[in-house]
Amino acid sequence: MDNLPSVNEQRRKCLRMLAVGGAWAGLWAAGLLQPLRALAAEWNKPAFDAKALDEALKSIGATTPVESSQIQLKAPEIAENGAIVPVEVTSGIPGTQAIYIIADKNPQPLVAIFDITPGIEPFISTRIKMGESSKVRVLVKAGDKFYVATQEVKVTIGGCGG
């Protein structure tokens, strides 16, 4: 009889855990958790941490990208505010698998990687921060090849510090 309360306690704990687990399983089944599964693990840390352009390019495996006029890159020639620089990319390269946005002179040049599935058009528009005037460099991965287009953006007020 002495150990009854503790058994009950354990049973309650166990039931609570099952209930919590059940709720999570429900969310999982509903597909709510799937898109976020182990997201952080798939973040390319070496490439994003790279402090020099060459190092960043090497980390993504794009040491010798080919210049391509099939990449359409829209960015302002003069950005008054480096904290908000609109960048729009349209790739005309067949089999585009990924679009990379790089600001050459940012403290860490690699800004974003967009994996492009056949389920979307090879088009991305976003806004980035630039610490100073530099080239914006867009890479497109298609098959095992990399293609590149660049545009010079003059930044009046830098957007990285404060």
Partner 1 sequence: MKIRAQLKGDVADVKVLMFHPMETGLRKDPITGDIIPMHFIQRVVATLNGKTVMDAQWSQAVSKNPFVNFRIRGAKQGDKVTVSWEDNKGEKASIETTLN
Interface residue list for partner 1 (CB under 8 A): 31-32, 34-36, 39-40, 42-44, 48, 83-85, 88, 103, 106-108, 110-121, 123-130, 159-162
Provide, rounded to whole angstroms, the least separation between the CB of residue 87 and partner 1. 10
CB of 91 to partner 1, least distance (A): 12
Q: What is the number of alpha carbons within 13 Å of residue 45 lying toward its C-beta?
A: 4
According to DSSP, residue 19 is labeled H
Q: Which is nearer to partner 1, 70 or 126 (CB)?
A: 126
Which token pair is 150? 């660049």
Two tokens, residue 144: 């095992």
Give the Cα-Cα-Cα angle 59, 45, 49 (nearest 5 degrees).
Answer: 75
Output 130 or 138, the one with its CB closest to partner 1: 130
Identity of residue 136: V
The nearest distance, CB 145 to partner 1, in angstroms, is 20
